[in-house]
Protein backbone atom coordinates (compact mmCIF):
# COMPACT_ATOMS: atom_id res chain seq x y z
CA UNK A 1 0.00 0.00 0.00
CA UNK A 2 1.23 3.46 -0.86
CA UNK A 3 0.69 6.99 0.42
CA UNK A 4 -1.26 7.83 3.53
CA UNK A 5 -3.40 4.93 4.77
CA UNK A 6 -7.00 5.14 5.98
CA UNK A 7 -7.96 2.47 8.52
CA UNK A 8 -11.12 1.25 10.21
CA UNK A 9 -12.00 -1.75 12.34
CA UNK A 10 -15.07 -3.40 13.80
CA UNK A 11 -15.85 -6.56 15.73
CA UNK A 12 -18.93 -8.41 14.48
CA UNK A 13 -20.83 -11.00 16.51
CA UNK A 14 -20.75 -13.59 13.72
CA UNK A 15 -18.28 -16.08 12.29
CA UNK A 16 -15.93 -15.29 9.40
CA UNK A 17 -18.03 -17.08 6.71
CA UNK A 18 -21.07 -14.99 7.65
CA UNK A 19 -19.08 -11.74 7.56
CA UNK A 20 -17.54 -12.76 4.22
CA UNK A 21 -21.05 -13.23 2.84
CA UNK A 22 -21.96 -9.71 3.98
CA UNK A 23 -18.90 -8.30 2.20
CA UNK A 24 -19.55 -10.10 -1.09
CA UNK A 25 -23.34 -10.50 -1.47
CA UNK A 26 -24.72 -7.61 -3.58
CA UNK A 27 -28.03 -7.42 -1.70
CA UNK A 28 -26.31 -7.21 1.66
CA UNK A 29 -23.71 -4.71 0.43
CA UNK A 30 -26.52 -2.43 -0.77
CA UNK A 31 -27.98 -2.39 2.74
CA UNK A 32 -24.91 -0.79 4.31
CA UNK A 33 -23.35 1.08 1.36
CA UNK A 34 -26.14 3.60 0.74
CA UNK A 35 -27.85 1.41 -1.84
CA UNK A 36 -24.72 0.89 -3.92
CA UNK A 37 -24.90 -2.22 -6.11
CA UNK A 38 -21.68 -4.21 -6.42
CA UNK A 39 -21.13 -6.39 -9.48
CA UNK A 40 -18.30 -8.90 -9.91
CA UNK A 41 -17.66 -12.63 -9.81
CA UNK A 42 -14.99 -12.13 -7.08
CA UNK A 43 -12.35 -14.00 -9.10
CA UNK A 44 -8.85 -12.53 -8.93
CA UNK A 45 -8.34 -10.25 -11.93
CA UNK A 46 -12.06 -9.72 -12.51
CA UNK A 47 -13.55 -6.25 -12.86
CA UNK A 48 -15.73 -4.89 -10.09
CA UNK A 49 -18.23 -2.03 -10.22
CA UNK A 50 -20.24 -0.18 -7.61
CA UNK A 51 -23.27 1.69 -8.96
CA UNK A 52 -25.72 3.98 -7.27
CA UNK A 53 -26.82 7.55 -6.72
CA UNK A 54 -25.16 10.26 -4.69
CA UNK A 55 -26.85 13.60 -4.17
CA UNK A 56 -29.38 12.64 -6.84
CA UNK A 57 -26.73 11.90 -9.47
CA UNK A 58 -25.94 8.42 -10.78
CA UNK A 59 -22.39 7.14 -10.45
CA UNK A 60 -20.38 4.05 -11.24
CA UNK A 61 -17.12 3.36 -9.44
CA UNK A 62 -14.87 0.60 -10.69
CA UNK A 63 -11.84 -1.51 -9.93
CA UNK A 64 -10.39 -4.98 -10.01
CA UNK A 65 -10.36 -7.91 -7.60
CA UNK A 66 -6.76 -8.38 -6.44
CA UNK A 67 -7.27 -11.07 -3.80
CA UNK A 68 -10.23 -13.08 -2.57
CA UNK A 69 -9.50 -15.65 0.12
CA UNK A 70 -13.01 -16.48 1.38
CA UNK A 71 -13.34 -15.86 5.08
CA UNK A 72 -9.88 -14.27 5.33
CA UNK A 73 -8.89 -11.48 2.93
CA UNK A 74 -10.63 -9.42 0.27
CA UNK A 75 -8.58 -6.86 -1.65
CA UNK A 76 -9.75 -4.71 -4.55
CA UNK A 77 -8.68 -1.61 -6.41
CA UNK A 78 -11.14 1.26 -6.50
CA UNK A 79 -11.58 4.33 -8.68
CA UNK A 80 -14.37 6.87 -8.30
CA UNK A 81 -15.02 9.58 -10.88
CA UNK A 82 -16.69 11.50 -8.03
CA UNK A 83 -13.20 12.31 -6.74
CA UNK A 84 -12.69 14.54 -9.79
CA UNK A 85 -9.55 12.76 -10.98
CA UNK A 86 -8.79 11.22 -14.35
CA UNK A 87 -9.23 7.46 -14.81
CA UNK A 88 -5.52 6.63 -14.60
CA UNK A 89 -3.74 3.91 -12.60
CA UNK A 90 -2.26 6.37 -10.11
CA UNK A 91 -5.79 7.53 -9.20
CA UNK A 92 -6.92 4.06 -8.09
CA UNK A 93 -6.49 3.06 -4.49
CA UNK A 94 -6.39 -0.37 -2.89
CA UNK A 95 -9.00 -1.39 -0.32
CA UNK A 96 -8.20 -4.43 1.81
CA UNK A 97 -10.50 -6.22 4.25
CA UNK A 98 -8.86 -8.66 6.67
CA UNK A 99 -11.02 -11.00 8.75
CA UNK A 100 -9.81 -12.60 11.98
CA UNK A 101 -11.64 -14.68 14.55
CA UNK A 102 -12.06 -12.88 17.86
CA UNK A 103 -11.71 -14.46 21.29
CA UNK A 104 -15.48 -14.23 21.79
CA UNK A 105 -16.31 -16.25 18.68
CA UNK A 106 -17.00 -13.28 16.46
CA UNK A 107 -14.98 -11.69 13.68
CA UNK A 108 -12.71 -8.66 13.69
CA UNK A 109 -12.79 -6.86 10.34
CA UNK A 110 -9.84 -4.57 9.63
CA UNK A 111 -10.06 -2.32 6.59
CA UNK A 112 -7.21 -0.34 5.06
CA UNK A 113 -7.20 1.95 2.04
CA UNK A 114 -4.11 3.45 0.49
CA UNK A 115 -3.59 6.40 -1.80
CA UNK A 116 -4.80 9.18 0.48
CA UNK A 117 -3.31 12.53 -0.49
CA UNK A 118 -2.51 13.56 3.09
CA UNK A 119 -3.27 12.80 6.73
CA UNK A 120 -6.47 14.87 6.66
CA UNK A 121 -7.85 12.88 3.72
CA UNK A 122 -6.81 9.63 5.41
CA UNK A 123 -8.78 10.66 8.50
CA UNK A 124 -11.83 11.56 6.39
CA UNK A 125 -11.73 8.21 4.58
CA UNK A 126 -11.19 6.41 7.91
CA UNK A 127 -14.37 7.99 9.28
CA UNK A 128 -16.34 7.05 6.16
CA UNK A 129 -15.06 3.48 6.21
CA UNK A 130 -15.81 3.20 9.94
CA UNK A 131 -19.41 4.20 9.25
CA UNK A 132 -19.63 1.60 6.50
CA UNK A 133 -18.19 -1.14 8.74
CA UNK A 134 -20.56 -0.18 11.56
CA UNK A 135 -23.44 -0.48 9.07
CA UNK A 136 -22.21 -3.89 7.93
CA UNK A 137 -22.06 -5.00 11.57
CA UNK A 138 -25.70 -3.97 12.04
CA UNK A 139 -26.78 -5.83 8.90
CA UNK A 140 -24.99 -9.01 9.98
CA UNK A 141 -26.07 -8.94 13.60
CA UNK A 142 -29.72 -8.17 12.80
CA UNK A 143 -30.18 -11.06 10.36
Domain around 9: 4-142
Residue 16 maps to which CATH number?
A: 3.30.530.20
- Please give the model's pTM, rounded to 2 decimal places: 0.92
CA distance 5 to 40: 25
With a CB cutoff of 8 Å and minimum separation 6, the contacts of 27 are none
Q: What is the mean pLDDT of residues 82-87?
A: 83
| Number of domains observed in the structure of the chain | 1
pLDDT of residue 33: 93
Mean pLDDT of the chain: 94
Structure confidence at residue 64 as a pLDDT band (50, 70, 90): very high
Q: What is the mean pLDDT of residues 118-122?
A: 92
Amino acid sequence: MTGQIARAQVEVDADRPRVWEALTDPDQVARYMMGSRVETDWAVGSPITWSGEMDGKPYQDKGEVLRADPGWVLEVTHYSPLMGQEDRPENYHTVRYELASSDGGGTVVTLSQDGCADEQQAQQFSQSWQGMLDGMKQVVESS
